Amino acid sequence: MGTAFNNTHRYFTQFMLSNGIVTLDNAMKFFEEISPERNTLAFLKTLVIEINREICKQSFKIATTICEITGDKVFVWLNTKSDEVSRLQVGFSAVELEYFHAILQEIVTSEDHVIQYPRAINIASTLTATLSRDNGEKALIRWIKGGYYVKQDERVFLGPRTILEFTTFLRTNTENCSCDLCSELVFVGETCNSCSKTFHKLCINKYLQNQQSCPSCRNTWGDPNSTMDVDSDADPRPSRRRRHN
Amino acid sequence: MPRKSARAGLSQASTSSQSHSESRIEEHLASSQASLDDQVNNVVRYIVNNAGQNLYFRRADIQKCCGAKVGQQFQQVLEKATAILKNVYGYNILACDQTPSSGKAYIVSNALPYRNYKPDADDIQAKEIQKIVLLLILTHIYMSDGPVPDASVYSFLKSFGIDVNIRHPLFGLIKDYITNVLIKQKFLSLETDPITKKSLFSWGIRAETEINKHELLKFVCKVCKNRQPKAWGNQYKAACSQEFKNERLVDQNAMDVDEE
């Protein structure tokens, strides 16, 4: 084994395991508790790297990402392998897992990648097995707590944990959901008025500090008038003005 | 000339086949080592994924998830998995001998000293409040110095105004809680006395390893005001010989319990 593990590693591992998703702030608060002498973000990042070196042997990972909806920087506990062993997970019944996937499908295929909360509850009644709306809601609340879905203003979005844990599935089953600036999946972000490409809020804001144009189509960013019409006289080809998701 | 080269060819062939079989043995060893590691990692994953439920793991279930046959191999796998679980995740794997199906079973217990970390003061869940009931039952059994009939436990709770047969405003359905949670999670153990046919409660294996009898004794002293732990000879002895695996940080306030 690489670094010798001490209780600080173990406490943080258990902390991540039981919470599933933790904002950077809360993680720092906990870290200051368990490691009062070395409690800066740099030490925490090193700790996470050391932990990951060990837990990757069991296909686990602590990843960092930014929630598309809240903008929070978060740590996420990931199961990087989906197989018999992880499917033997106790905690969710088969119908609840079906419910999870049904919600996932509906969000991914919807325009703007969001569904209404009441609609999410109703999905429980559409499954092949029986799931009461009550039990469905209880499961959904657990998933929201675990970072799989995000609820904001009575709307349900994909949570950071789902985006990371289901990356392969999502890439295969979606089109145009990639942020050109960082190559990661994006479901909720800022869209170009001209070419309809979506970017992460953070990515595009950083980019726009030095540029004023869309990274993809090069038209002025945020200018609704900069459509292909200006060029249509010179360019007889039909313009792609259609907004697609 | 042909002979020489033939001989050379022969000896070459035999050396290469010898080294070929050597490397095959090495390969075989390497792959069985790899598959041993795979099995160990599968067992660790299975337990980490399910530990949060506080249930017990049947030996058969663990074997299923790693594909090992019974015997030497599995023992090795289990030992290595136990070591990783302790070292990386801070979990103790404890064997319990008595299960209804008479198969060997294991429970996961936290190896790390308890930390009273509560970032949100009002985030106290119903589950934690219910633990007060557990505390009272364990104390009663402990102070009674042996297994206790269920009737005795229920009347003890009644003396605190807790009726196990009705839904309590704070603790919910207590009989349910005792059967479905406390016994299942091995905090309590329920056995039938062969002679009297009575149901007897005693400390479950999880309670023995996770709950410090010294602290319980201190709690009783607080309640009885001014008595010293050593005043209870048997209990004090039991506390000293407890195979307690969970080192507590010094936190006196954590044991404050309000009684109605």
Tens digits of per-residue pLDDT, B180-237? 889 888 899 998 888 888 899 999 888 888 888 888 888 888 888 767 777 778 888 8
B70 pLDDT exceeds 70? Answer: no
For the cut 90, the answer to whether the pLDDT of residue B15 exceeds it is no
Classify domain A7-79 by CATH number.
3.90.1150.220
- Between CA B173 and CA B126 the distance in angstroms is 12
Q: Give me the residues of chain A with pLDDT under 70, please.
A: 1-2, 83-90, 223-245
Which parts of chain B are beta strand (E)? 56-58, 91-96, 105-110, 148-149, 167-168, 172-173, 188-192, 199-203
Q: Nearest residue of B to residue A34 by CA position?
A: B115
Interval B111-115 mean pLDDT: 82
| Per-residue model confidence (pLDDT) at position A87 | 56
The domain segmentation of chain A, as residue ranges, is 7-79, 93-167, 176-245
CATH architecture of A176-245: 2-Layer Sandwich (3.30)
User: Does pLDDT of B165 surpass 60?
Assistant: yes
Q: Looking at this predicted complex, what is its ipTM?
A: 0.80
Q: Which of residues 53-92 of A touch B (CB under 8 A)?
A: 54-55, 57-60, 79, 81, 84-86, 88-91
| Higher-confidence position of B61 and A177 | A177
pTM of the model: 0.76
Beta bridge partners of B93: B108
Mean of the per-residue pLDDT values of chain B: 78
The rounded radius of gyration (Å) of the Cα atoms in chain B is: 27
| pLDDT at residue number B17 | 62
Sheet of strand A155-158: strand arrangement? A115-116, A155-158, A149-152
CB contact under 8 A, B45 and A85: yes
Residues of chain A with C-beta less than 8 angstroms from the C-beta of B120: none
Mind telling me how many Å the CA of B88 is from chain A's nearest CA?
6
Asked if B41 and A58 come within 8 Å (Cβ–Cβ), the reply is yes
Contact state of A13 with B119 under an 8 Å Cβ cutoff: no
Question: Going by DSSP bridges, is the β-strand pair B91-96/B199-203 parallel, antiparallel, or unpaired?
Answer: unpaired
Chain B residue nearest residue A60, CA to CA: B45
Q: What is the 3-state secondary structure (H, E, C) of chain A?
A: CCCCCCHHHHHHHHHHHHHCEEEHHHHHHHHHHHCCCCCCHHHHHHHHHHHHHHHHHHCEEEEEEECCCCCCEEEEEEECCCCHHHHCCCCCCHHHHHHHHHHHHHHHHCHHHCEEHHHHHHHHHHCCCCCCHHHHHHHHHHHHHCCCEEEECCEEEECHHHHHHCHHHHHHHCCCCECCCCCCECCCCEECCCCCCEECHHHHHHHHCCCCECCCCCCECCCCCCCCHHHHCCCCCCCCCCCCC
Whether the CB-CB separation of B67 and B39 falls below 8 Å is answered with yes
Q: Please classify residue A36 by burial: count the beta carbons closer than 10 Å to its beta carbon, then call 0-12 exposed, 13-18 middle and 19+ buried.
A: exposed
Above 90 in pLDDT, residue B116? no
Could you give the CA distance from residue B170 to residue A81 in angstroms, rounded to a whole number?
41
Handedness of CA A96, A101, A104, A105 (dihedral sign): negative
- Provide the pLDDT for residue A10: 95
* pLDDT given for residue A160 in this prediction: 94
Smallest Cα distance from A189 to chain B, Å: 31
Res B99 pLDDT > 60: no
Question: With an 8 Å Cβ cutoff, are A13 and B89 in contact?
Answer: yes
User: Which tokens is A62 given?
Assistant: 């602590």
CB atoms within 10 A of CB B74: 17
User: What is the structure's pLDDT at B59?
Assistant: 83
Specify the higher pLDDT residue, B71 or B32: B32
Return the percent helix, strand and coil in chain B, to nearest 5: 55, 10, 30
DSSP code, position B203: E
In a mutational test of the A interface, the residue from B33, B88, B115, B118 whose CB has the highest number of chain A CBs within 10 Å is B88
How far lies A168's CA from each of A27, A62, A105, A165, A186, in Å?
Answer: 27, 18, 14, 8, 13
Report the residue of chain A nearest B55, measured CA to CA: A90
d(CA A126, CA A123): 5
**Using the beta-carbon criterion (under 8 Å), do A10 and B113 form an inter-chain contact?**
no
Quote the pLDDT of residue A131.
92
Would you state the pLDDT for residue B67?
A: 64
Contact A212, A91 (CB under 8 A): no
Among the partner-chain residues A30, A58, A81, the one whose CB lies closest to the CB of B117 is: A30
Cα of A164 to nearest chain B Cα, Å:
18
Chain B residues within 8 Å of chain A (Cβ atoms) = 37, 41-42, 44-46, 48-50, 52-53, 55, 65, 84, 87-90, 110-113, 115, 117, 119
Asked whether B106 and B62 are in contact (CB, 8 A), the reply is: yes
A54: closest chain B residue by CA: B88
In the CATH hierarchy, which fold is given to the domain comprising A93-167? Answer: Arc Repressor Mutant, subunit A (1.10.10)
Specify the pLDDT at position B260: 30
Residue B170: its pLDDT value, please?
82
> What would the pLDDT profile of B39-53 be if each residue is shown by its tens digit?
899 899 989 988 877
Look at residue B174 and tell me whether its pLDDT is greater than 50: yes
CB contact under 8 A, B112 and A58: no
Q: Judge if A93-167 and A176-245 fold alike in CATH terms.
A: no
Above 50 in pLDDT, residue B251? Answer: no
pLDDT at B107: 86
Token couple for B33: 């080592």
